[in-house]
Structure 1
Amino acid sequence: MRPIINRAGRDFESEALVVRTDYSDDEAWRAVVTLLDQSDGEFEVRNHLVDDRAYAGASPDEVALSAQVADPGLEVVFLADTATMTGDHSLLAVSTRPEELEEGDEELGCSFRLLPTLVNTVHVNLAIGHLDFWEFAYHAVRTPDKVLRR
């Protein structure tokens, strides 16, 4: 198991947890951080960035488990993985909850990609219970490149 993510003193409801798992390109990571700091205008940007080589190459399940142990109320963790370090720097949103589908819903999986500027919007909407993970995942899988862009 990877180390437990230290969330002591953090505001769980308003701070999105972003864990870096790819260390191949520091310049790309700096670009990702810059994009994460840009607001989409809906919520104040607040991120808890975990830039610790102990997570290098960690799977989504490993990161989700470490995050959930640290904060059992956490709904989602965002991974800056290998795909994040290229193109539009989309991050991987990973649910820390089992999939809860209603009758007739198709299975969407426990992750989807999104643009960095949407991380806080997704996190806050999940934290306050306004929307659920599967609503965001549904919209992401409907796009041609499977990336949530708004």
Structure 2
Amino acid sequence: MPLPQPDDLTSLVLRTDFGDEGAWDAVKAALDAAGEYRHATYVSQLRFAGVGVQTLLAEEDAADEDDQIVYMFLADAVTMNDPAHPLLAVDLSDEPGRTFRVTARWFPDISANLSIANMDFADFADAADGSGTFRGFDEG
């Protein structure tokens, strides 16, 4: 079964942790408050409970080319339990399986640039800090 498709000019945010409904609501609220426009297509389907990156890559590889997506964001256990709710960004195309984390503050910038192919996944992943989290581009 192909992965869900994001709405036009938004990014797919796929919930994989179902332990705390309030945390999921907080993640969505933080993402929605971070930008002026809607940047996320939220998917909360139990079939994705606990699913890992490799399983998602295999599912994406099996999909028809027209149904494939280039990247996605996971709301996993780390996202739900960390007060900053950092999503796990996952490359599904250029470097399948490459990941980095992103907080709500930077999600709209990344989503907008990736959804219009203005920048590549690697541009953001390469700028992640030592913890693997994107916190903006170094202005120095």
Q: Under a length normalisation based on structure 2, what TM-score does the superposition of the two structures give?
A: 0.80
Query: In the aligned structure 1, how far is the partner of 2:4 from the partner of 2:130?
Result: 36
Q: Please state if 1:89 is matched with 2:85.
A: yes
> Which segments of structure 1 move beyond 6 Å, counting only runs of 4 or more?
none
CA pair 110-89 structure 1, distance change in 2 beyond 3 A: same
Confirm or deny: 8 A CA contact 1:16 1:119 kept in the other structure: no
**What residue is the counterpart of 1:80 in the other structure?**
75
**What residue is the counterpart of 1:57 in the other structure?**
50
RMSD value, Cα: 2.4
Q: Please state if 1:116 is matched with 2:116.
A: no
Query: In the aligned structure 1, how far is the partner of 2:102 from the partner of 2:11?
Result: 13
**What residue is the counterpart of 2:3 in the other structure?**
5
Which residue identity is paired with 2:5?
A: R
CA pair 133-98 structure 1, distance change in 2 beyond 3 A: same
- How far does the alpha carbon of each residue in 1:51-100 deviate from its partner, in whole angstroms, 9 at most, with x for none? 0111001011323454573732x321000001001221101000011329
Which runs of 5 or more residues in structure 2 are unaligned? none
Q: Please state if 1:21 is matched with 2:16.
A: yes
State percent identity of aligned pairs: 31
75-84 or 118-127: bigger deviation:
118-127
**What residue is the counterpart of 2:33 in the other structure?**
38
Which residue identity is paired with 2:88?
A: L
Q: Under a length normalisation based on structure 1, what TM-score does the superposition of the two structures give?
A: 0.75
